[in-house]
Structure 1
Amino acid sequence: MLNTKNKKEKFILACLILLTAMAMWVVWGNISVQRSCVMVRSNELPEAFAGFTIAHISDLHNAEFGKNNEKLLRILREESPDIIAFTGDLVDSNHTDIDCALLFVRQAVEIAPCYYVTGNHEAWLGTQYEVLHVELIKMGVVVLQNESVKLEYNGASIQLIGVNDPAFSREGDYLAETVLETTLSQIQIEVREGYTILLAHRPEHFRVYRDKNIDLVLSGHAHGGQFRLPFIGGVIAPDQGFFPEYDAGTYTEQNTTMIVSRGLGNNIIPVRINNRPEIVIIELDRLQT
């Protein structure tokens, strides 16, 4: 009887230890930030841009990592990127804190030039978005609204394109692909040939970006699939449903590469599992032929 009791107690203790370890793993996986480094090579890239780095930040959703987001700022300072690209959902429409978002961006601008496009949550802010928009511009952030700008580096240049989230259009999500196709066609009329980088919040429209011959796309929105399973990937993502095709990482089709950030914050589902928040550091290089 005593031996049976001891076995039961050991089993319960082992279960408690396992549950505690799992809980600590989940907590750590939600408050720590991963620095993901990606090299992108292309024979279309001007040789002068070899070594050009981009810090890609997406889906902050008003989250904070350390006081005043010091964890994020420390990574940015250490990496010292040439530009910082924000690909939408800087704020969360359900619990909006514009001041918190602006405080982070104000410090990020001091590290590197910042370029920003909207996500669906900015579209859902209503009149509050105008406040955010005006303040970002005052800080020197380049807010790209269906337009392109020239990036110059070591005497050469490439094009950086930014599109509004389709939720800003009257057609909304119902005709999102059509909206993006039309928008990119209009922008590309003004863009000369050369290497192009697109900032677009939604990765599920990769076909559109590929068909428009964009060289590099930076996107977010999918939150890494929220819960990630080993060897399978994300479980569920906005506008892609269960087991999304474009949840995180690098995708290449034809001459187009898309990098999808797992993002930093959460929205409806407040917890990530096996899916650490991340800042993606992208280095460009010339593909030698």
Structure 2
Amino acid sequence: MIKRLKKHRILSFILFMIPLLVLWIIWGNTHIETKWYQLMDDELPNDFDNYTIAQVSDLHNKNWGNKLISELETVYPDIIVVTGDLIDSRNTDVPVAVEFIERAAQIAPVYFVTGNHEARSDQYEELIEAINQTVILMDNRRFTLSSGVSELTLLGIEDPSFPGADPENELENLTEDVEGFKILLSHRPELFNLYVNQDIDLVFSGHAHGGQFRIPFIGGLIAPNQGLFPKYTEGIYSEEDTNMIVSRGLGNSLFPFRVNNKPELIFLRFSTN
């Protein structure tokens, strides 16, 4: 009788916890977590004090409706950087991606660098044609950001999944003869050593999806191109004079849900005082 009672209590507890777990996972996949960073660096010109950058990464065609746009509108950053996988190669929806870009561009200039899903999608050219007049495509390009009378250099490299892509060579060419503070948009955090070797000051990256399933006190479980217990999954990583911010992203791809790993929108503000 006592054993039956214990079994009944255990079963009741499990039946009680299952719907709570399901609701927690649903909530953790449908709410955006906003994370702020502040960066102070001697290389930053005073004119860039309080300059704010929003990072959107790994949307994978996720349609947030007004949620994501509303979060961006609460801040009105100086620029918005999109660090790859705007679309999902397994289920590409170009109109959803275009709608987000067009609405985001009404808030601030949008700078876009590709991810592996753009490289794999047979609708990539259609996407670029649709957003070409709205975003600044940063694949293997450099661009000057201005504030007051001062300037910074924004760089971007295309994803290594593109045929013939050579991130090391491209980044070396882009940084040649560039002085002052350098910001890089690159989808791949696992190339951190390359960014450090090229003396990049600040990197915005994604791709790892926060490790998809985050384990307390351990971190992410798995990430593409990093495998189990990946090193670069979320947050800020620093080595020598290089800081890299890795976004957990805002969508899902092969795995349809996240655990303990809410979608993330990042804001970074420069401070020169």
> What TM-score do you get using the length of structure 1 for normalisation?
0.91
Kept in 2, the 8 Å contact 1:218–1:258? The answer is yes
Kept in 2, the 8 Å contact 1:59–1:223? The answer is yes
Distance 1:280 1:204 in 2: 19
> What TM-score do you get using the length of structure 2 for normalisation?
0.96
Structure 2 unaligned runs (5+)?
A: none
Residue of structure 1 in register with 2:80 after alignment: 84
- Matched position secondary structure for 2:199: coil
- Matched position secondary structure for 2:74: helix
- State the AA in 2 paired with 1:185: E
Residue of structure 2 in register with 1:211 after alignment: 197
Kept in 2, the 8 Å contact 1:117–1:164? The answer is yes
Kept in 2, the 8 Å contact 1:136–1:143? The answer is no
Residue of structure 2 in register with 1:47 after alignment: 46
Cα displacement (A) at 1:7? 5.1
Kept in 2, the 8 Å contact 1:53–1:282? The answer is yes
Distance 2:121 2:26 in 1: 29
Residue of 118, 126, 133 corresponding to 2:128: 133
Residue of structure 2 in register with 1:175 after alignment: none
Residue of structure 2 in register with 1:114 after alignment: 110
Distance 1:256 1:99 in 2: 36
- Matched position secondary structure for 1:56: strand
Distance 2:191 2:156 in 1: 14
Cα displacement (A) at 1:5? 5.8
- State the AA in 2 paired with 1:169: P
1:185 aligns with 2:184: no
Residue of structure 2 in register with 1:282 after alignment: 268
Cα displacement (A) at 1:192? 2.7
Kept in 2, the 8 Å contact 1:236–1:244? The answer is yes
Cα displacement (A) at 1:220? 0.3
Distance 1:213 1:230 in 2: 33
Cα displacement (A) at 1:24? 1.1
Residue of structure 2 in register with 1:32 after alignment: 31
1:103 aligns with 2:126: no
CA 1:148/1:12 → structure 2, altered by over 3 Å: closer, same or farther?
A: same
Structure 1 unaligned runs (5+)?
A: 173-178
- State the AA in 2 paired with 1:162: G
Greater helix share, structure number:
1
Cα displacement (A) at 1:9? 3.9
Residue of 159, 162, 187 corresponding to 1:201: 187
Distance 2:156 2:56 in 1: 14
Question: Equivalent pairs: percent with the same residue?
Answer: 44
Residue of structure 1 in register with 2:149 after alignment: 155
Q: CA offsets, 1:14-47, max 9 Å, x none?
A: 2222222111111111111100111111111111
Kept in 2, the 8 Å contact 1:33–1:279? The answer is yes
Cα displacement (A) at 1:169? 3.0
1:166 aligns with 2:160: yes
Kept in 2, the 8 Å contact 1:87–1:119? The answer is yes
Q: CA offsets, 1:199-239, max 9 Å, x none?
A: 00000000000010000000000000000011111010000
Distance 2:168 2:7 in 1: 63
1:20 aligns with 2:14: no
Runs of 4+ in 1 over 3 A off after TM superposition: 3-11
Kept in 2, the 8 Å contact 1:226–1:273? The answer is yes
User: Pairwise CA RMSD of aligned residues?
Assistant: 1.4
Q: How many residues align?
A: 273
Of 230-239 and 20-29, deviating more is 20-29
Distance 1:161 1:209 in 2: 11
Distance 2:124 2:25 in 1: 33
Distance 2:155 2:231 in 1: 24
Distance 2:179 2:259 in 1: 42
Q: CA offsets, 1:226-259, max 9 Å, x none?
A: 0001111101000000011111110000000000
Residue of structure 1 in register with 2:137 after alignment: 143
- Matched position secondary structure for 1:76: helix
